[in-house]
Amino acid sequence: MQRYIKVGLLISALLSFSAMAEALKIEITQGVSSAQPIAVIPFSTTQVVEGLPVDIAQVVSDDLAGSGRFKPLSRIDMLNKPSTAEQVNFRNWQALGQDNLVVGKVMTDASGKLLVQFQLFDVYKGEQITGFSIPASRSNLRGVAHRISDLIYEKLTGQKGAFSTRMAYVTSMLGSNGKTEYKIQVADADGYGAKTIVSSTEPMMSPAWSPRGDKISYVSYEARRSSIYTQTLKTGQREKLRSFKGINGAPSWSPDGTQLALTLSKDGSADIYIYNVITRSFRRLTRSYAIDTEPDWSPDGRQIIFTSDRGGKPQIYRISVNGGQAARVTFEGSYNARASYSPDGKFITMVQRVNGQYRIATLELKTGFTTILTNGQLDESPSYAPNGSMILYSTNDGLKSILAAVSSDGKVRQKLRLRGGDVREPAWSPFKTK
C-alpha cells in the first residue's frame, strides 16, 4: 500500500477512449432507517419507440435506492402502472404506504426525435411536485435517466443530485501474458459506461479532475520515471508537464482551472509547488526538510491543505496559496493523510489510523471535531461527491481492492466491485462534465 507518499508512481500508454469495460456492481450495505418510500412506475412507450436499450424507470429507481435515502417499491407490488396524471389513483398508492410516485413516458416530438416526460407526485397531497419533458436519443437514455434522478432527489431532499456525475479510478488485472495491466477508467456515478482513458503495464495512480470535468491529470511511470500528464477526455490528447529528477506527483486542480498543485522533489526534499497551466511556470509553495505531499485546494481557491511529516508523523497542514507559514490542522491521532475539502469548504475528509487500522474520517474545520465514518482495515483515497453527500474511497474486500462509498453522516454505505480485478484510487468528478 502507498500509505502516505502517494506521489511519484505510475502509468501509461495512450489509448484514448477504448471500448466499454465491465460495469462496477453496486451493493447497498447500509441505508437510513427512515428511507422515503417511493414508487417509480415503468415508463410507457409508443409503438414508434418500442425496444429502447435502457429501462429508464429502473435506472431512476436504482439511483434513488443507491443513495440510501429512498426505498423504491418493487414492481411486483405495484397494483397498476399509470403513465399519466389522469391514470393515477392516489388512494391505491397511499394504501401501499408510498410517499411519492413517479410516472413517465417516452414518445417522439413533431420532428420525430425522442422525448422523455416524467411527473413526480406527492401521494398524500395528491399533487404534482415537479415534471419535465427532456429531449433524448437512444444513445443517451441512461444520461436522461440520471438527470431525472437528480431532479427528483433535489426536489425531495433540497440537495442537488449527483447521479449525472462520473468517477475516475485505477484498475489492475493480470493479463494472459502474465503481466499486470493497469488502467485509468471513467464511469458514470452508478458504475456503468466504464471507458479506459489510458493503459500500461506500469502502475497508475492519482487521477485528478479538472473543474470543468473535461480533463484528468495523473501520474505516469513511463520509462521508469515519474511524470505528470494531463489528458483531454474527448480527444484522448495528453500533455506532459516538465518532468524533473525525483518525485513528480499528486496533481490537484485549482477551482478556476488555471493552476495545478503538485509534489516535486527537484530542489531536494518533497515540497508542494504550484504549476501555472497558462504560463507553464512552477512556483514553490512549501519549504521544508520534511515530506510535503497530497495537496488539495479549498473551494474558494485561497488555501491548500496537504500531508506532511514535519512534526514527526503524517498530519494535515494548511497554507495560503500565496505562501507563508503552514498551520497544522489535525491533532487527533498519530496518522492523518490524503485530505480533501468538502464542496462547501466546512469539512475535510482524510485517512486516519485508528488502533493500527486505516479509516475514512471527516474533520469539521470550525470546531476541530473528528468523525470516523468507516470500519475497514485499509480504507484510503477518499473523494467527496460534488454535492458533499457521499465520500468515495477504496478498501479491501478479502484479497481484493474494491471501491466503497459512505454518506458524509455515516448512515449510508455502498460497495462497488469489479469482477476479475482490483480497483482503487477513486476521484469523483465535478458537476460540470463534458
Query: Which residues on neighbouring strands pair with residue 373, listed in sequence order?
Result: none
Contact 374, 419 (CB under 8 A): no
**Strand order of the sheet with strand 336-341?**
336-341, 347-354, 357-364, 370-372
Residue-level pLDDT at 292: 97
Residue-level pLDDT at 2: 41
Query: Rounded to an integer, what distance in angstroms lies between the CA atom of residue 189 and that of residue 207?
Result: 16
Query: Rounded to an integer, what distance in angstroms lies between the CA atom of residue 97 and that of residue 208?
Result: 43
Print pLDDT tens along the chain (434 aa).
Answer: 343 333 333 333 333 334 344 567 767 677 666 899 999 999 998 866 778 899 999 999 999 998 989 999 999 999 999 999 999 999 999 999 999 999 999 998 878 789 999 999 999 999 999 999 999 998 999 999 999 999 999 999 999 999 999 999 999 988 878 888 999 999 999 999 999 999 988 888 999 999 999 999 999 888 788 999 999 999 999 999 988 999 999 999 999 999 999 999 999 899 999 999 999 999 999 999 999 999 999 999 999 999 999 999 999 999 999 999 999 999 999 999 999 999 999 999 999 999 999 999 999 999 999 999 999 999 999 999 999 999 999 999 888 899 999 999 998 898 888 777 899 999 999 997 54
Residue-level pLDDT at 4: 39
How many angstroms separate the first and last alpha carbons of the chain? 32
- Number of Cβ within 10 Å of residue 304's Cβ equals 23
Biggest CA pair distance of the chain: 72
Residue-level pLDDT at 5: 37
C-alpha distances (whole Å) from 124 to each of 38, 75, 85, 96, 186 are 12, 20, 14, 11, 41
Secondary structure letter of residue 1 according to DSSP: -
Question: Of the candidates 143, 155, 11, 4, which has an alpha carbon nearest to the alpha carbon of residue 70?
Answer: 155
Question: Of the candidates 430, 433, 422, which has an alpha carbon nearest to the alpha carbon of residue 204?
Answer: 422
Residue-level pLDDT at 176: 78
